[in-house]
Structure 1
């Protein structure tokens, strides 16, 4: 497991999404990406890579409507793979079945491809570059982007057979559409305790713990003041932030409340919302 996605760090653990056709979506996550079912409870299906750790939950509400554009919510969730060879293998698989990609990039800190599930929920699949090569400057990373070396990645995968998503795969980070950056930064930095690690001025802010390149990304590319989507729209219903201990979670809950952010408890789970209405479940590592 990535050292950035275990205690003592705080990180994103699971993403819950609403879909328009549960069977079609399940065929994608199982048949295309190779996840397996961990739990199927009343039409809510939890998917896993290793048979133990929940990563993605999908459900089809009765009154679901198509994904709404120009709103806040999920920009993409990102699946972290253990190696370049694993990224090359999934690229090879997607090419073989002609599954469309939205793009790819070498960010310096990672190599990534971008696609969507059948409902338009954004997905990044990536492998980190060696942390020793990350160009930290006073606690901040530069925002980089150059062409992805598809040929080199496919060469890494030349002798590898596709056997589904690697068991070590994790939710590496989540990237959110938000309505405004200043309030967003105050929430995630001052309230949730994440460090600001990257900025694209007037466009995006990225946050992490433990000197990871980012666990949470935020952008205003859907427009300043973008509204939250309808509750029954295809898209993200919530994501979890995983704390290393009860004490760490309690400290953040107190800080959020001191800053006048609401934290409620539902069925034993602490829940809050960022200023753009993105719902966050606050959990402890032992509970997952």
Structure 2
């Protein structure tokens, strides 16, 4: 329905990606996993970035044709997005970016907001024809987390990991990125300020990854984490560390 392709799997886990074999999501199955409590930190949504409006419209047609319901459709000024939940309640965003020339900055920050998406205008771009699933240009555009405290979140992701804050003005949220993008990471307090982490092994996010430009960049982040008193786990040149809300993030070198 989403259009991702099964790349590999062993019965307990499956890797999903694009038609050209690039992995984007790994699902791990556990029939005994407890549900994630609503008022807890964790995944708000993962966001698949489509290359253009035509492919976003095609994705909408695919989801609707499968009988699944969207939970939202928004124009965020920097992007156009539709939202849905998977069968276990994990949030998914399908979106396309507006050209950077259309992004507006106010007071040094990007203007990110929410107004209703013009679905009729979007679907007028749907190209029809055969549907080959997610196009190879699809990427994991960003991940959005429920967190317990925005100041602690900024200190970790900006102060230690080195991301740039792009917007603070959206109520209850903080957006961060690298390279001038509108956001590679969204964070919010919408499950409650001070929300606890879910019980270990709950349904939801196990970890998410940032691919850094070099092994040296990974080493620099490791040094900052250690200097701050954290103890990242190291494996295969990558680091795994928990953020202040107990979300696990992996920092990996280039493939």
When normalised by structure 2's length, the TM-score is 0.95
Counterpart of 1:263 in structure 2 is 232
- Find 2:204's aligned residue among 220, 229, 235: 235
Decide which structure has greater helix share: 1
Distance in 2 between the 1:122 and 1:35 partners? 16
Distance 1:133 1:202, change over 3 A: closer
Distance 1:67 1:51, change over 3 A: farther
Moved more, 99-108 or 248-257: 248-257
Counterpart of 2:63 in structure 1 is 94
| Contact 1:90–1:162 (CA under 8 A) maintained in structure 2 | no
Indicate whether 1:120 and 2:102 are aligned. no
Counterpart of 1:200 in structure 2 is 169
Counterpart of 2:214 in structure 1 is 245
Distance in 1 between the 2:108 and 2:16 partners? 35
- Find 1:162's aligned residue among 131, 141, 147: 131
Listed one character per residue, the Cα deviations across residues 202-237 of structure 1 (whole Å, up to 9, x for unaligned) are 611110011000000100111111010111211000
- SS of the aligned residue for 1:221 comes to coil
| Contact 2:225–2:232 (CA under 8 A) maintained in structure 1 | yes
Task: Give ranges in structure 1 of 5+ residues lacking alignment.
Answer: 1-31
Indicate whether 1:150 and 2:123 are aligned. no
| Count of aligned positions | 255
Indicate whether 1:280 and 2:246 are aligned. no
Moved more, 115-124 or 193-202: 193-202
Counterpart of 2:3 in structure 1 is 34
Deviation at 1:138, TM superposition (A): 4.9
User: Superposition RMSD on alpha carbons, in Å?
Assistant: 1.6
Listed one character per residue, the Cα deviations across residues 172-223 of structure 1 (whole Å, up to 9, x for unaligned) are 0000000111111000000000000011366111100110000001001111
| Contact 1:89–1:161 (CA under 8 A) maintained in structure 2 | no
1:201-216 mapped onto 2 (5 Å cutoff): 203-216=172-185
Distance 1:159 1:42, change over 3 A: closer
| Contact 1:67–1:119 (CA under 8 A) maintained in structure 2 | no
Distance in 1 between the 2:137 and 2:116 partners? 26
Distance in 2 between the 1:241 and 1:93 partners? 29
Listed one character per residue, the Cα deviations across residues 138-191 of structure 1 (whole Å, up to 9, x for unaligned) are 541122211101111111004344221112111100000001111110000000
Deviation at 1:99, TM superposition (A): 0.9
| Contact 1:270–1:281 (CA under 8 A) maintained in structure 2 | yes
Distance 1:67 1:278, change over 3 A: same
Counterpart of 1:27 in structure 2 is none
- SS of the aligned residue for 1:114 comes to strand
Distance in 2 between the 1:35 and 1:278 partners? 25
Deviation at 1:281, TM superposition (A): 1.1
When normalised by structure 1's length, the TM-score is 0.84
Counterpart of 1:9 in structure 2 is none
| Contact 2:113–2:170 (CA under 8 A) maintained in structure 1 | no
Counterpart of 1:222 in structure 2 is 191
Deviation at 1:262, TM superposition (A): 2.4
Counterpart of 1:135 in structure 2 is 104
